[in-house]
Amino acid sequence: MPKYARVMVDDSGGNAFDYELAGEAAVRLQVGSRVRVPMRTRTVLGTVIGLSDETEASGVKPVTSIVSADPILSPLLIRLGEWMADYYCCSLEHALRSILPQVIRKAEVTHKLRQFARMAREVAPEELEALKGRAPLQVSVVRCLQEAEGPVAVADLAARCGASHQVVQALVKKGWVLCETARVERDPLQNESFVPSQRLELNPEQATIFERVLQALEEFKESGERTDAQLEKNEGASAEAAQKKSRPLLLYGVTGSGKTEIYLQAIQHVLERGQSAIMLVPEIALTPQTVERFKSRFASTGHEVAVLHSHLSEGERHDEWHRIRDGRARIVIGARSAVFAPCQRLGLIVVDEEHENSYKQEESPRYHARDIAVLRARLENCTVLLGSATPSMESFQNADTGKYELLRMMGRVDDRKLPLIRVVDMRLEAAKKSSILSEKLIGAIRQRIEKREQTILFLNRRGFATSLICSACGHVCQCQNCSVSLTFHRSQNRILCHICGYAAVAPTKCPECRDPSIRHSGTGTERVEDVVLKLFPKAVVKRMDADAMTRRDAYRETLNAFRTGKIDILVGTQMIAKGLHFPNVTLVGIINADMGLHLPDFRAGERTFQLLTQVAGRAGRGDVEGEVFVQSFTPFHPAIQYARHHDFDGFWEEEIEHRRQFDYPPFTHMVILGLRSQHQARAEFSAVTLARRLKELLPPGTTLNDPAPAPLEKSHGFYRFQLLLRSRQILRLSRALRSVLDKLTFPEDVLVTVDVDPYQLL
């Protein structure tokens, strides 16, 4: 029996302490159990993260009490947490916070309770007849309960026979009916219905790929059945064994090549042999069609699907988590945090659209769910399948060096053609004054309206105008808290900061010189909508962006209206760029392809290429070939030209050379140390001090740039400075950073952040 438990104390910044085990605690506690322990003068909650027979600590106190012996974390997930803390240079507590939802860590759990009614005794018909005239509703309730043969929710009785709570209570008083409270599970998808769907016959290209996926799955057939204890014991051995087995699979398939069908069938296979599967999608709110496809497919096989994402209520999250852990729901679909789902016997993790930035968490721990998926699969000894039409440079490089295995699907389902992409040189259009929409795009939209086909217009910026400028003095309306100009939203007649949310009434005169000649500059979706409505007054135009979609169901409703052909033209931001499948969309217009191209970010080209390819991929998914107009002021930029020719390989070759030359990721790992303060001088001083200290202590092979203001110099009232580091050996660098940061003290009002493998360089 172990004598000591290592307990990570909640809210202690990740500190763990040893506590003595006695009596019941020594017998019942496991790694992952929840306990109360003494901490100075208080008792606090914590999680057991290790058990042992000895301790180096002195004056060890005993565990106060057991909250729940049943482990809420498997040893494997704790190891994943330790790895995250090490790699991402964060505390173990922060790592475990991501792994364990807060609602599971709380001591008190709220269950959803409901009232159920059932018959208390037999009721003869004579008794009912007597009641008929006076209380017909009571009679219907009794009939309903007699038919049901079991308890019926009181709320359902209202729906079925129009009987209120009082009617049921009257029957309870009579002693005919009993009411009981019971726990029910919350189901985030309960109000939605799904039409069951069958698996599709794979086409030859899909079949070849699927064969290979099956082989990989076969190699891990036994692995899911290993116990945690076995895993613990053989860590070294199993990692080695795993090395010899299948590598992570990278499925590079063009848009509409049928990747999702492969995921569905692979998951089906895993379920049939008793294992579970995790399917990660970039943003669940933006991928309702994917969730729908999964529910529809698995509804007919009797497998339960759990959904995990940030819009769940606490209660829903709690119940979904338990459904997964108890093995009742063996398919988990979710956004990045679902990579930590407490599945048992995991057989497969799928990461759809693996290149998406939303897999990166932008607060500590700043983990990347794709990378966690790869690591978890290695720890669990299971298969991981990454899919994308535009793989990230990191993943494709891993395939190139043989760390991942590359699978390619180059044709669209049913030999549908990839859309024809035309690049419109906006420098020439500017001369013609057609401004926002080129003449060619306008002509193409007109044709679609005549043919009753649908159009998508994409612009990744909401609002009407991106800034307000005074024509007299040149004053630009700026945010007080951030170094950005304020966006004009005409429908609200306000100017808004898209960084911090600051809002003010739009001025009619220049706030600086009082001249009334204030004008709009730069285009947002609101203005595109406005222009389109003026050009095509009879068309039904709908805008889809964060402003138009504030109601919870608005997104789904708009998509449904679009699907059923009630909308001719959909104008939108990145909300419409991803994963949507509408066969009647034959035209896509990209209003400003250059928008992200000139940002001070080494991934600007890669992102533009991905975005153009993904948006263009929304066109021509039905029987009619699609057409795409890409409006650009730099039409010969490689990101635009390669996207135009559907040439991922060409783009990859050029871009990877560029990265190699400048020693950028994926050849090195980057780390950004951010320092911010409301006092500019203190932030800057701290950055300079930190840089000086780092220069002395960093491991060899590390590049450290001079401290500099971040491209977004001020945000939410904070001045921001950055140190940018690069190294080929990230673990060494992370550990060195940890030890330097632990020793240095910064002024109290300076906040320091560490971002390993950053995606947000601004």
User: Where along the sequence are the contacts to ligand ADP (CB under 6 A)?
Assistant: 200-203, 206, 253, 255-261, 413, 581
DSSP designation for 463: S
Smallest separation, CB 389 to ligand ADP (Å) = 7
- From 273-281, 481-489, 568-576, 586-594, span contacting Zn ion (CB under 5 A): 481-489
Smallest separation, CB 584 to ligand ADP (Å) = 13
- Binding flag, residue 470, Zn ion (CB under 5 A): no
Identity of the residue, 264 or 373, whose beta carbon is nearer to ligand ADP in the bound complex: 264
Left if phi > 0, otherwise alpha if psi is -120 to 50, otherwise beta: which for 687?
Answer: alpha
* Cα 757 to the center of its chain, rounded Å: 17
Residue 584 touches which of Zn ion, ligand ADP, none (CB < 5 to 8 A by kind)?
Answer: none
Write the CB contacts of 26 (distance below 8 Å, at least 6 apart in sequence).
1, 2, 3
Q: How far is CA 288 from CA 4, 285, 303, in A?
A: 48, 6, 19
Residue 202 touches which of Zn ion, ligand ADP, none (CB < 5 to 8 A by kind)?
Answer: ligand ADP
Burial 719-755 (b: 16+ CB within 10 A, else e): bbbbbbbbbeebeebbebbbebbeeeebeeebebbbb
Cα 315 from Cα 513, distance rounded (Å): 54
- Binding flag, residue 486, Zn ion (CB under 5 A): no
Smallest separation, CB 623 to ligand ADP (Å) = 12
Smallest separation, CB 331 to ligand ADP (Å) = 17
* H or E element, residue 31: none
Question: Residue 453 phi/psi, 5° resolution?
Answer: -105, 165
Residue 497 touches which of Zn ion, ligand ADP, none (CB < 5 to 8 A by kind)?
Answer: Zn ion
Strand stretches in 379-538, DSSP E: 383-388, 405-409, 420-425, 454-458, 467-470, 487-489, 494-496, 503-505, 518-521
Residue 727 touches which of Zn ion, ligand ADP, none (CB < 5 to 8 A by kind)?
Answer: none
* H or E element, residue 277: strand 276-280
Cα 221 from Cα 459, distance rounded (Å): 46
Secondary structure class of 511 (helix, strand, coil): coil
Looking at residue 173, its amino acid is K
Smallest separation, CB 109 to Zn ion (Å) = 39
Exactly one of 115, 268, 478, 481 binds Zn ion (CB under 5 A); that residue is 481
Identity of the residue, 507 or 622, whose beta carbon is nearer to ligand ADP in the bound complex: 622
- Binding flag, residue 483, Zn ion (CB under 5 A): no
Residue 455 touches which of Zn ion, ligand ADP, none (CB < 5 to 8 A by kind)?
Answer: none
Identity of the residue, 256 or 522, whose beta carbon is nearer to ligand ADP in the bound complex: 256
- From 188-196, 280-288, 492-500, 570-578, span contacting Zn ion (CB under 5 A): 492-500
Radius of gyration of the chain (CA): 30
Contact 343, 364 (CB under 8 A): no
Smallest separation, CB 579 to ligand ADP (Å) = 7
- Binding flag, residue 96, Zn ion (CB under 5 A): no
Identity of the residue, 329 or 482, whose beta carbon is nearer to Zn ion in the bound complex: 482
Q: Interhelix angle for 75-87 vs 369-380, to 10°?
A: 140
Contact 123, 145 (CB under 8 A): no
- From 42-50, 400-408, 472-480, 513-521, span contacting Zn ion (CB under 5 A): 472-480
Helices and strands, counts by H and E, the chain = 25, 31
- From 48-56, 59-67, 249-257, 478-486, span contacting Zn ion (CB under 5 A): 478-486
Strand stretches in 642-745, DSSP E: 669-677, 703-704, 708-715, 718-727
Exactly one of 437, 497, 630, 690 binds Zn ion (CB under 5 A); that residue is 497
Identity of the residue, 579 or 666, whose beta carbon is nearer to ligand ADP in the bound complex: 579
Contact 68, 33 (CB under 8 A): yes
Secondary structure class of 424 (helix, strand, coil): strand
Identity of the residue, 261 or 568, whose beta carbon is nearer to ligand ADP in the bound complex: 261
Burial 396-417 (b: 16+ CB within 10 A, else e): bbbbeeeebebbbbebbbeebe
Q: How far is CA 295 from CA 599, 607, 685, in A?
A: 40, 31, 55
Smallest separation, CB 576 to ligand ADP (Å) = 15
- From 168-176, 263-271, 502-510, 532-540, span contacting Zn ion (CB under 5 A): 502-510
Exactly one of 73, 216, 479, 628 binds Zn ion (CB under 5 A); that residue is 479
- Binding flag, residue 135, Zn ion (CB under 5 A): no
Exactly one of 51, 60, 79, 502 binds Zn ion (CB under 5 A); that residue is 502
Sort 73 into a burial class: Cβ within 10 Å, 0-12 / 13-18 / 19+: buried
Identity of the residue, 499 or 656, whose beta carbon is nearer to Zn ion in the bound complex: 499
Q: What is the 3-state secondary structure (H, E, C) of 221-232?
A: CCHHHCCHHHHH
- From 183-191, 427-435, 489-497, 558-566, span contacting Zn ion (CB under 5 A): 489-497
Contact 305, 293 (CB under 8 A): no
Residue 479 touches which of ligand ADP, Zn ion, none (CB < 5 to 8 A by kind)?
Answer: Zn ion
Smallest separation, CB 267 to ligand ADP (Å) = 13
Residue 608 touches which of Zn ion, ligand ADP, none (CB < 5 to 8 A by kind)?
Answer: none
- Binding flag, residue 482, Zn ion (CB under 5 A): yes
Q: What is the DSSP string of 54-114?
A: --S-SSPPBP-EEEE-S-SS-HHHHHHHHHHHHHTT--HHHHHHHHS-HHHHSSS---EEE
Smallest separation, CB 191 to ligand ADP (Å) = 25
Secondary structure class of 560 (helix, strand, coil): helix
Identity of the residue, 259 or 366, whose beta carbon is nearer to ligand ADP in the bound complex: 259
Smallest separation, CB 713 to Zn ion (Å) = 12
Residue 105 touches which of Zn ion, ligand ADP, none (CB < 5 to 8 A by kind)?
Answer: none
- From 207-215, 360-368, 494-502, 596-604, span contacting Zn ion (CB under 5 A): 494-502
Tally the C-alpha atoms within 13 A of residue 342's C-alpha that lie toward its C-beta.
25
- Binding flag, residue 499, Zn ion (CB under 5 A): yes
What's the residue count for the chain? 762
- Binding flag, residue 169, Zn ion (CB under 5 A): no
Looking at residue 546, its amino acid is A
- Binding flag, residue 495, Zn ion (CB under 5 A): no
Identity of the residue, 260 or 722, whose beta carbon is nearer to ligand ADP in the bound complex: 260
Residue 259 touches which of ligand ADP, Zn ion, none (CB < 5 to 8 A by kind)?
Answer: ligand ADP
- Binding flag, residue 194, Zn ion (CB under 5 A): no
Identity of the residue, 281 or 479, whose beta carbon is nearer to Zn ion in the bound complex: 479
- Binding flag, residue 504, Zn ion (CB under 5 A): no
Number of amino acids touching Zn ion (CB under 5 A): 7
Q: Which pair of structure tokens corresponds to residue 474?
A: 């040149």
Residue 257 touches which of Zn ion, ligand ADP, none (CB < 5 to 8 A by kind)?
Answer: ligand ADP
Residue 499 touches which of Zn ion, ligand ADP, none (CB < 5 to 8 A by kind)?
Answer: Zn ion
Contact 559, 553 (CB under 8 A): no
DSSP designation for 308: E
Identity of the residue, 255 or 677, whose beta carbon is nearer to ligand ADP in the bound complex: 255
Identity of the residue, 406 or 449, whose beta carbon is nearer to ligand ADP in the bound complex: 406
The site for Zn ion (CB under 5 A) is made up of: 479, 481-482, 497, 499-500, 502
